[in-house]
Amino acid sequence: MMLLLASAGCSSPPAATAPPRPAPSAWLMQPAPDLLTPLNGIISLSEKE
């Protein structure tokens, strides 16, 4: 009887299943902002001087 209780207490717990991944955020789905156009304007103004 004691052996049965000891072996039942040492058994590993059942494996947990991973929850489904949530959908990506709305801002992540939007196109990336154009950062090069303002940067090119700054660089071109400094080259004319």
Task: Match 């304007």 to its residue by tokens.
Answer: 41
Each residue's pLDDT expressed in tens, for the chain with a length of 49 residues: 555 555 555 667 778 888 898 888 888 888 888 888 888 877 775 555 4
Residue type, 44: S
Model confidence, pTM: 0.28
Q: Give the pair of three-digit tokens for residue 13.
A: 């717990």
CA-closest candidate to residue 36, choices 48, 47, 28, 44: 44
Long-range Cβ contacts of 33-37 (<8 Å, 24+ apart): none
Whole-angstrom distance, CA of residue 4 vs CA of residue 11? 11
